């Protein structure tokens, strides 16, 4: 045991309210034909990826957008980058059931291209609701897109700079009326192309141990 309590101490009633609210968001995403990647999703028989994990999680991980595996299965981080995310969680003695994992963009962009600003604008509405409902005490941004959205959103626009400067840092932010920590990490996919980045990511993630034990 490492003394961590990764889940919020909430009542069964609160938990079922959260399940219901999150189900509504999922149903909306499934049927909202205004989604910028709706046609691409339908043509390819892809699924939107809303997120998964505990609805009482203290820590929410926010990636960029589903890749092909994710869009086929409707689950976040179930491909190669996800395998490294699992390693990172294991390093923190956490598993997927003790955290919540999602992305800023909920549909797969064609050919894994970067998300467009209008896609981030649209899908971030879903992310905002997820944060409002789950009320994580810490949001971990994975990569520059979720960092670029969440730092300004949490009153930290002046801190925003290159991820090569911000990786492994922890900020105190405010989301609506919720205070929360924001931990900025590289995207786990960087570890796939550059072996030395594995160690950087694992070391950076250790800032979460301090957070959870305080
Ligand atoms: N990359 C992401 O940003 N999210 C996923 O779910 C998978 C790969």
CA 77 to ligand 1 center in whole angstroms = 5
Q: What is the pLDDT of residue 125?
A: 98
Complete edge-to-edge strand list for the sheet that includes strand 169-175: 52-53, 100-103, 59-63, 138-142, 178-185, 169-175
Per residue in 200-213, pLDDT tens?
A: 999 999 999 988 88
Per-residue pLDDT band for 1 (boundaries 50, 70, 90) equals very low
Per-residue pLDDT band for 2 (boundaries 50, 70, 90) equals very low
Average confidence (pLDDT) over 96-102: 98
Task: List, chain by chain if needed, residues with CB within 6 Å of any ligand 1 atom.
Answer: 63-67, 70, 76-77, 81, 103
Matching CATH number, 12-213, of 3.90.1720.10, 3.30.70.260, 3.40.470.10, 3.30.470.10? 3.40.470.10
Cα separations (Å) of 63 from 78, 94, 213? 12, 18, 24
Average pLDDT score, the chain: 96
Per residue in 132-164, pLDDT tens?
A: 999 999 999 999 999 999 999 999 999 999 999
CA 166 to ligand 1 center in whole angstroms = 20
Q: What is the pLDDT of residue 3?
A: 52
Average confidence (pLDDT) over 59-63: 98
Per residue in 111-136, pLDDT tens?
A: 989 999 999 999 999 999 999 999 99
In this predicted structure, the answer to whether residue 39 has a pLDDT above a threshold of 60 is: yes
Helices (H), 80-195: 80-91, 117-134, 144-153, 163-166, 190-193
């Amino acid at each position: 045991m490492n003394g961590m309590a990764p889940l919020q101490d909430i009542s069964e009633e609160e938990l079922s309210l959260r399940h219901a609210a999150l189900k509504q968001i999922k149903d909306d995403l499934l049927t909202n034909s205004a989604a910028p990647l709706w046609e691409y999703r339908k043509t390819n028989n892809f699924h939107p990826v809303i997120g998964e994990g505990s609805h009482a999680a203290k820590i929410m991980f926010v990636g960029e957008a589903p890749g092909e595996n994710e869009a086929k299965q409707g689950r976040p981080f179930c491909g190669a980058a996800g395998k490294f995310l699992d390693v990172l969680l294991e390093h923190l003695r956490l598993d997927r059931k003790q955290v919540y994992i999602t992305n800023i963009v909920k549909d797969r962009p064609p050919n894994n291209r970067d998300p467009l600003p209008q896609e981030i604008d649209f899908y971030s509405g879903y992310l905002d609701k997820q944060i409002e409902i789950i009320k994580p005490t810490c949001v971990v941004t994975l990569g520059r897109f979720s960092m670029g959205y969440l730092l300004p959103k949490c009153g930290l626009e002046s801190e925003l700079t290159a991820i090569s400067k911000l990786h492994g840092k922890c900020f105190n932010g405010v989301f609506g009326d919720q205070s929360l920590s924001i931990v900025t990490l590289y995207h786990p996919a960087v570890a796939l192309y550059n072996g030395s980045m594995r160690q950087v990511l694992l070391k950076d993630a250790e800032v979460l141990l301090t957070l959870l034990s305080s």
